[in-house]
């Protein structure tokens, strides 16, 4: 008998249920739900895990109660949403996705894990892997964007970063991949609304990132709050037992979302807490986060025979095994852990933040700012807001440690006069500050507008029906643009904002998302030309909210969109094309693609093919180009998206330099799911498109034949 089996054998029913109970500690409480006497519960073995606590002393005190004062001395799992950094805050995930760089994604997760582990955290509720194609949904900010291939790479990189080579390493934290699945497809982008997607879309789009997290060894999975076609994920036997535990052979821990088990009653899936607890346990949910449904409902569910004690024991064992793998059973305080050197972490934060900035539009060479610039008006609600730079889910990040845009620019341009004023509050219609702001714009040489959302406008509960600039910001921007000076716009947001008028009129617009603690320095690096922007959009940017959900991997229509043709797949009032395609992002230089080759011209199953292209830096400035490879299966038994991403390469090029990038792909990269959702490689022609974004007008294309 192993250690975990021995512990199980020694437990009372209440202690077993305690191991499945995760209670909210002090600090942020992210949802409604029951609170209980934390310390008493830990001491008597009825709370085996906590969330939302961190800090050596606080965690140590709670851990001591479990280890020294509970009957069996089993340590707690300590969970926290370490989404984009712990003390050192990195860009929000949507921004980090703009790097298209698994190495960076892994590095930030590693640093975050190290800092969180040093603060007593053993479990991070990350990575968030919801494919997001509807910017009305506020949680797009937490996601790696619209593409399943990107989300799959992100899943693996983040899991590796958090868990390192071993969970027991002391400086690793267990990854909880969330939210399985389809949460990004909530009806009309409205938070917590029902999801109704086809089984095909689930399997092609929403599940692959979770399969990748499991393959990378993710210790835990969190099901989403939502229901899919009437079956809440918290009780979804087909996906949690059938797909996750069956098909993916996942043997880790499944943790409910906050209060989600009790909410099965609101879904109309359970009549009472007993039924809710039974449904969740049968679906394979091991840990009840904060709803107390297991504590209140499982004893009665067992008595009524709704669940078996074997099912209960399986869940308890999975939790104990995770504690064992984390090393908690040997060293509950994970003594050896030390935080990363703060300077290294901040350097990484600055590096990633500047790479996450996307130059959306640029004309008249207003950027980089001239070294001689002597007077800037830095205007807008986000100009000196250091707290907003952190974005949602800032864990232990402190606003006072974040570098505002004003502070970053002042540091970079010590001899330049920078007049800064908000003009308007992010979401208020009060325009009384507008005249003063415009006065400052008139007096300056260059105007920099810091516009967008504040951090509370996206994230959980951050759905918006209007994707324009909130409050009086449009009035402020238009008044500033009317002056006729060069205007550069920094757009901070957790999603694309539909501001076509601004893209039309401003000299340059940069997507600056929520870049984290080093935001101001990173922005200054880009504005001054110290860093040549290289970020690329991980989501298609709509022109109008009426176009959403919008994404590049559309299926072909029988009547493809043709501008001006009524009976084609289009709108009467807005072009069908996006404002900016997936992958868009300008540089201060110019890169061009040449000499695409695809070899051999035909392949069979089991073989492979190579695609390569030359990338030229046509400019006198060094920079980094990003090249995307898409495929299109021209004729198939299930009609295939017009393009599907299969590879991304970044290449750094000096002035005038050229390089050749190559992908070696197996024939299996061309498979898709047949009518029974089994992978199939069908003979026929496949188009290969290579470009610097998903703009079909700029592709280099070739094709290969798959032979029977």
Nearer to ligand BGC, 24 or 450 (CB): 24
Kindly give the interhelix angle for 273-283 and 293-303, rounded to the nearest 10 degrees.
90
DSSP 67: I
Contact present, 130 and 97 (Cβ < 8 Å): no
Residue closest to ligand BGC, measured at CB:
125
Select 458 or 626, whichever has its Cβ closest to ligand BGC.
458
Beta strands in 337-459 (DSSP E): 358-362, 375-379, 417-421, 446-452
Q: How far is the CB of 678 from ligand BGC (least distance, A)?
A: 32
Beta carbon of residue 83, minimum distance to ligand BGC (angstroms, whole number):
8
The closest alpha carbon to 406, from 376, 440, 433, belongs to 376
Beta carbon of residue 51, minimum distance to ligand BGC (angstroms, whole number)? 6
Q: Does a cis peptide bond (omega within 30 degrees of 0) precede residue 553?
A: no
695 annotated active-site: no
Task: Please identify, using beta-carbon distances, which residue of 146 and 257 lies nearer to ligand BGC.
Answer: 257
Smallest separation (angstroms) from ligand BGC to the CB of 23: 12
Least distance CB 22 / ligand BGC (angstroms): 9
Peptide bond into 127 cis (omega under 30): yes
> Is 86 one of the binding residues for ligand BGC (CB under 6 A)?
no
CA–CA distance, 218 with 661 (Å, rounded to integer): 32
Number of residues that bind ligand BGC (CB under 6 A): 9
Provide the mask over 241-260, with x wherever binding to ligand BGC is found by CB under 6 A and - wherever it is not.
----------------xx--
Q: Which of residues 143-182 bind ligand BGC (CB under 6 A)?
A: 178
Q: Which H or E element spans position 363?
A: none
Shortest Å, Cβ 126 to ligand BGC: 8
Q: Give the angle 106-108-113 at the CA atoms, nearest 5°.
A: 95
Interactions with ligand BGC, residue window 412-451 (CB under 6 A): none
Is the CB of 130 or the CB of 644 nearer to ligand BGC? 130
Could you say which of 119, 147, 257, 525 is catalytic? Answer: 257
Strand 77-80 relative to strand 123-124: parallel, antiparallel, unpaired? Answer: parallel
Among 81, 101, 351, 633, binds ligand BGC (CB under 6 A): 81
State which of residues 90, 125, 588, 630 lies at the interface with ligand BGC (CB under 6 A): 125
- Residue 123 or 480: the one with the smaller Cβ distance to ligand BGC is 123
> Distance (Å, rounded) from C-alpha 117 to C-alpha 108?
14
Q: What is the DSSP string of 236-274?
A: -HIIIIIIIIIIS---SEEB--TTTTGGGTTTTS-SSHH
Task: Tell me the β-bridge partners of 175.
Answer: 124
* Interaction pattern, residues 22-61, with ligand BGC; x per rule: CB under 6 A: --------xx-------------------x----------
Query: What does 81-121 look like in DSSP terms, one character per residue?
Result: --SSBSSSB---HHHHHTT--HHHHHHHHHHHHHHHHHTT-
Dihedral sign computed on CA atoms, order 502, 503, 504, 506? positive
| Contact with ligand BGC (CB under 6 A) among 130, 453, 460, 644 | 460
Bridge partners, 451 (sequence order): 491
| CB of residue 59 to ligand BGC, shortest distance in Å | 16
Of the pair 50, 502, the CB lying nearest ligand BGC is at 50
Q: Which of residues 520-579 bind ligand BGC (CB under 6 A)?
A: none
CB of 288 to ligand BGC, least distance (A): 13
Handedness of CA 257, 258, 262, 264 (dihedral sign): negative
State which residue, 213 or 704, has the beta carbon closest to ligand BGC.
213
């400035």: which residue's tokens? 621
Taking the least distance from each CB to ligand BGC, the nearer of 252 and 542 is 252
Q: By the criterion CB under 6 A, which residues form the site for ligand BGC?
A: 30-31, 51, 81, 125, 178, 257-258, 460
Show which residues are catalytic: 257
């Amino acid at each position: 008998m192993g250690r975990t089996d021995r512990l199980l054998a020694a437990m009372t029913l209440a202690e077993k249920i305690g191991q499945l109970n995760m209670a909210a500690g002090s600090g942020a409480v992210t949802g409604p739900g029951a609170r209980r006497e934390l310390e008493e519960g830990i001491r008597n073995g009825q709370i085996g895990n906590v969330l939302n606590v961190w800090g050596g002393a606080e965690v140590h005190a709670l851990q001591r109660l479990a280890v020294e004062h509970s009957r069996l001395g089993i340590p707690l799992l300590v969970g926290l949403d370490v989404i984009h950094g712990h003390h050192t805050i990195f860009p929000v995930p949507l921004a980090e996705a703009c790097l298209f760089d698994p190495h960076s994604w892994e590095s930030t997760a590693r640093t975050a894990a190290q800092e969180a582990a040093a603060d007593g955290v053993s479990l991070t509720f990350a990575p968030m892997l919801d494919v997001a194609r509807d910017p009305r949904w506020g949680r797009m900010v937490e996601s790696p964007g619209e593409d399943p291939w990107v989300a799959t790479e992100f899943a693996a990189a983040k899991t590796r970063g958090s868990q390192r080579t071993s969970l027991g390493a002391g400086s690793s934290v267990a990854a909880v991949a969330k939210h399985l699945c389809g949460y990004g497809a909530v009806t009309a982008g409205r938070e917590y609304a029902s999801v109704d997607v086809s089984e095909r879309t689930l399997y092609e789009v929403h599940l692959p990132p979770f399969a990748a997290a499991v393959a990378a060894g993710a210790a835990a999975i969190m099901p989403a709050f939502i229901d899919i076609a009437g079956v809440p994920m918290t009780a979804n036997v087909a996906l949690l037992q059938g797909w996750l535990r069956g098909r993916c052979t996942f043997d880790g821990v499944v943790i409910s979302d906050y209060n989600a088990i009790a909410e099965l009653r609101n879904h109309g899936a359970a009549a009472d807490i007993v039924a809710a607890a039974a449904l969740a346990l049968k679906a394979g949910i091991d840990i009840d986060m904060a709803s107390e449904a297991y504590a209140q409902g499982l004893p009665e569910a067992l008595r009524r025979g709704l669940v078996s004690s074997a099912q209960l024991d399986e869940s308890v064992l999975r939790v104990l095994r995770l504690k064992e793998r984390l090393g908690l059973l040997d060293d509950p305080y994970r003594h050896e852990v030390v935080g990363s050197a703060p300077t290294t972490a901040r350097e990484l934060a600055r590096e990633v933040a500047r790479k996450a900035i996307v130059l959306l539009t640029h004309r008249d060479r207003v950027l980089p700012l001239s070294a001689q610039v002597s007077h800037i008006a830095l205007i807008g609600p986000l100009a000196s807001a250091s707290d907003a730079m952190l974005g949602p889910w800032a864990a232990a990040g402190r606003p006072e440690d974040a570098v505002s845009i004003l502070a970053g620019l002042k540091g970079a341009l010590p001899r330049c006069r920078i007049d800064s004023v908000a003009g308007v509050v992010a979401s208020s219609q009060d325009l009384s500050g507008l005249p003063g702001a415009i006065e400052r714009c008139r007096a300056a040489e260059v105007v920099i507008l810091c516009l967008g959302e504040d951090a509370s406008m996206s994230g959980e509960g951050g759905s918006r029906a209007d994707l324009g600039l909130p409050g009086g910001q449009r009035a402020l921007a238009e008044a500033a643009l009317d002056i006729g000076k060069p205007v550069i716009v920094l757009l901070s947001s957790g999603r694309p904002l539909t501001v076509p008028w601004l893209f039309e009129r401003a000299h340059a617009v940069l997507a600056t998302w929520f870049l984290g603690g080093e935001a101001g320095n990173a922005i200054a690096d880009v504005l001054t030309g110290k860093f040549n922007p290289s970020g690329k959009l991980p989501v298609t940017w709509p022109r109008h909210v009426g176009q959403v959900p919008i994404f590049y991997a559309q299926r072909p229509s029988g009547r493809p969109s043709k501008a001006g043709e009524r009976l084609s797949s289009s709108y009467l009032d807005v072009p069908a094309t996006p404002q900016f395609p997936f992958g868009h992002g300008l540089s201060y230089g110019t890169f061009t693609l040449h000499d695409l080759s695809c070899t051999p011209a035909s392949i069979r199953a089991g073989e492979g093919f190579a695609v390569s292209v030359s990338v030229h830096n046509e400019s006198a400035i060094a920079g980094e180009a990003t090249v995307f490879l898409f495929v299109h299966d021209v004729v198939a038994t299930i009609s295939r998206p017009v393009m599907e991403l299969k590879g991304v390469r970044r290449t750094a090029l000096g002035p005038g330099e050229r390089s050749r990038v190559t992908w070696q792909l197996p024939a299996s990269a061309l498979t898709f799911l047949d009518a029974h959702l089994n992978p199939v490689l069908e003979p026929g022609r496949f188009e290969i498109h290579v470009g610097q974004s998903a703009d079909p007008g700029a592709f280099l294309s070739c094709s290969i034949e798959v032979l029977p």
